[in-house]
Amino acid sequence: MPSADLSTLEKLRAQLGQEAVVTEWVEVSQERIDLFAKATGDFQWIHVDTERSARESPFGGTIAHGFLTLSLLGKFYDDDIDIPFCDVGVNYGLNKVRFTHPVRAGSRVRGRFVLAQLDDVDNGIQMTWRITFEIEGETRPACVAEHVVRRYFRATASQQGAQT
């Protein structure tokens, strides 16, 4: 999926208010859901009990944890957002998150990233992204979130020399 050219700070700034990135589709398999349950200790039956969920769940089967969907942010940043003039990124937090539609096991989701705000911070930038997590074949998104992330500039050769 083509994304905007974010190779310089000027090009990144030009994306302010624009949809800059649309990620590749990611399958949310039952195995991924089970591994997330194991990692977090959240074994609610609507996520992990396929037989009971098929019988009793209003969703007709198991669904992903909302936080599993949200946790795909890390994968999306790693796979689809290249900001080569920065070295390291850190999660700074979330301003708003809504889980608006269940993600059934076996569904595919992707993220649509709009750069809502871009601020300068010491030795880096702070970006606020509005992300819509789409579900393939569904009209309503799985999740909408406002995520704040900081990226720090790569040290230049002269800065590296000064640090040693």
Give tens-digit pLDDT for 95-152.
999 999 999 999 999 999 999 999 999 999 999 999 999 999 999 999 999 999 999 9
For the cut 50, the answer to whether the pLDDT of residue 164 exceeds it is no
Which pLDDT value is given to residue 85?
93
Higher-pLDDT residue of 36, 4:
36
**Around 153, how many Cα atoms within 13 Å sit in the side-chain half-sphere?**
13
Contact 55, 121 (CB under 8 A): no
Which pLDDT value is given to residue 158?
45
**Banded model confidence at residue 2, pLDDT cuts 50, 70, 90:** low
Can you tell me the mean pLDDT for 80-102?
95
Alpha carbon distance 117, 127 (integer Å): 6
Which pLDDT value is given to residue 160?
47
For the cut 90, the answer to whether the pLDDT of residue 1 exceeds it is no
**How much is the pTM?**
0.90
Contact 106, 50 (CB under 8 A): no
- Fold (topology level) of 9-28+66-163: Thiol Ester Dehydrase; Chain A (3.10.129)
**Banded model confidence at residue 154, pLDDT cuts 50, 70, 90:** confident
Tens-digit pLDDT profile for residues 34-75: 999 999 999 999 999 999 999 999 999 999 999 999 999 999
Which pLDDT value is given to residue 162?
46
Domains of the chain, residue spans: 9-28+66-163
DSSP conformation class of 128: E
Residue count (the chain): 164
Which pLDDT value is given to residue 156?
62
Alpha carbon distance 95, 16 (integer Å): 18
